[in-house]
Amino acid sequence: MNKLDSLKSLYKPYRYTIRGKCTILETTSGNFVIKKKPSNKDIPGLFNYLKSRNFIYFPEIYNDNRDDTYIYEYIEDNDVINPGKSEDLISLVALLHSKTSYNKEISEETHKEIYENIKNNILYLRDYYLKYYELFIKEIYMSPSHYEFVRNYSKIMAALNFTERELDDWYSIVREKKNERISLIHNNLSLEHYIRGEKDCLISWDNAKFDTPVLDLVKLYQNNFWELEFSTIYNRYLSITSLSEQEQKLFFILISLVPEIKFEGDEFNSCKNMRKCLDYIFKTEQFLKPYYATDTDN
């Protein structure tokens, strides 16, 4: 008998649905969500910590005695399309950060390592795109994806240059600092991981950890940049909790990193990847512009 069969035998569901990494059991005694235990995460311990910080917006675990799975309460998402859902999500995230934040003493190497990792990423992307530019510019008859890339190459380079300048500026601010604010972060934020129903919940906590709250904002932006009006979401976040100058700058740097375009497979997918990258650059530029506006822009 496999794991699912044993659970079906125990709960006697009249219907079960596999949804991503979860299995939803519908039974006469209620509905449950079955999910494999992460190998390196004590989810019950995590939820107990959140309760101790007066944060209760997660699904209850009904049974954690099994070796391989957790059995969660099932919460129906009653408001999937409502445009206010993203603002309610970020309100929960801001609450999570504010209730679990504390200052941690760090070594000089901490910010240096962040700086060097991002700098190396920028250098890699610059070389990566230069290689493709030099290859495509020699083509007499360019494919649509190659033409679109060459036409927008200067835009991609400008975005990388901006990110590098901001990174250098950020490091000049933080290089002498001896402490950093950290909080418990969800670390896998997307609209799909927020349920708004009888009980508002963040789900899928397998990647949660203590780190800078900036990473949650970055992940949400990258996962849902196109369908969200992020300026509204960001302002809602700041109305509940704050970011320091260095945290805000790091957030802007991380979302400004140009995605890596894959020119692989068929031409349709290459065009699709190219368009998505350009949309990301333009959308990010639009979001950041008010924060870098000067009097001469008026």
Q: Write down the domain spans for the chain.
A: 100-297
Q: What is the pLDDT along the chain (298 residues), one digit of tens a residue?
A: 445 555 555 566 667 777 777 778 787 777 888 888 888 889 999 999 999 999 999 999 886 676 788 888 888 877 655 667 889 999 999 999 999 999 999 998 999 999 999 999 999 999 999 999 999 999 999 999 999 999 999 999 999 999 999 999 999 999 989 999 999 999 999 988 998 877 889 999 999 999 999 999 999 999 988 888 899 999 999 999 999 999 999 999 999 999 999 887 789 999 999 999 999 999 999 999 999 976 445 4
Terminal Cα-to-Cα distance of the chain (whole angstroms): 70
- Work out whether strand 102-105 and strand 15-19 pair parallel, antiparallel, or are unpaired: unpaired
DSSP 187: S
Spell out the residues 6+ positions from residue 46 whose beta carbon is closer than 8 angstroms to its own: 184, 205, 208
Q: What is the CATH number of domain 100-297?
A: 3.90.1200.10
Burial grade of 225 (CB within 10 A; 0-12, 13-18, 19 or more): middle
| Cβ atoms of 157 and 277 closer than 8 Å | no
SS (H, E, C) 22-91: EEEEEECCEEEEEEECCCCCCHHHHHHHHHHCCCCCCCCEEECCCCCEEEEECCCCCCCCCCCHHHHHHH
**Is there a contact between 59 and 33 (Cβ–Cβ < 8 Å)?**
yes
| Nearest CA-CA partner of 21 in 5, 37, 10 | 37
Q: Are 215 and 245 in contact (CB under 8 A)?
A: no
Q: What is the pTM of this model?
A: 0.88
Cross-strand bridge partners of residue 61: 72
Angle 188-200-183 (CA atoms, 0-180°, nearest 5)? 45
